Copies of this chain bind each other. A is one copy, B any other.
Amino acid sequence: MSREPFLPMLRELARCYQAFEAYSSAHIRSLGLTPSQFDIVATLGNTPGMSFKELGEKTLITKGTLTGVVDRLEAQKLVRRSASPEDGRSMIVRLAPAGERLYERVFTAHLVHMRQALGGLDAAQLAQIESTLRGLRETFAAIGGRKAVAK
């Protein structure tokens, strides 16, 4: 029946991602942010701001979700919205001063936390893992793209 040779691999992908997520997000939450909020603050750090579209692409957060997350960050005075001077449809999001301070504090702390788990991996190991993941991602992207084009 289920002699699908790729099922164990998919299972391992889900478990691996979940292990990363659990390790990372527990720390993020202990710093008073949700994983999504951290993603946004970390992405906006050291930038002049960017549109919702770009922010969504970088953080993998859907636009519908992004509106709500930015709403809550804005209510905490951590980010600011401003109209784009170039495109009347577009909004620019950037860190407010309190967001800059939070970024400095939290991003550094999180790097230390992640280094505790991953510091033992050398450049060659990291490159090998990254290469394997990219290959697998492209396998999905390829079929997804093919179907999108074929519609």
Contact = CB atoms under 8 A, between A and B. Distances in A.
Given A117-B143, A120-B139, A132-B128, A111 B13 contact: no
A69 to B, nearest CB: 16
Nearest to A126: B9
6 contacts: A13-B16, A13-B129, A19-B144, A20-B140, A23-B140, A117-B143
A133 interface: yes
Interface of A: 1-2, 4-6, 8-10, 12-20, 22-23, 46, 60, 111, 114-118, 120-121, 123, 126, 128-130, 132-137, 139-144
Contacts of A1: 46
A143 B116 contact: yes
Nearest to A140: B19
Nearest to A118: B6
Given A117-B139, A139-B117, A140-B117, A123 B16 contact: no
